[in-house]
Amino acid sequence: MSKHIISRTSMCQKIIILFLISFKLCFSQHDSFQILEDKDLEVIFSKDRSSIRFKDSDKKYLNGQKKIINVDDSRSIVSFIDGYPNGKWIIEDKNGIVICISNYENGKKEGKDIYYYANGNIKLIANYANGIQEGKQEMYYYSGVYGGEFFCKNGVKHGVETWYKEISGKVFKTSYFINGKEVDSLKYKNILE
Cα–Cα dist 159/148, whole Å: 13
The total number of structural domains that make up the chain = 1
Domain extent, residue 136, equals 2-192
How would you write the pLDDT of the chain (193 residues) with one tens digit per residue? 333 333 334 443 444 443 443 444 344 443 344 444 445 677 888 887 788 888 887 888 889 998 888 777 888 899 999 999 999 999 999 899 999 999 999 999 999 999 999 999 999 999 999 999 999 999 999 999 999 999 999 999 999 999 999 999 999 889 999 999 998 876 555 655 4
Q: Structure pTM?
A: 0.75
**Residues 40 and 57: beta-carbon distance below 8 Å:** yes
Sign of the torsion angle spanned by Cα atoms 129, 133, 135, 136: positive
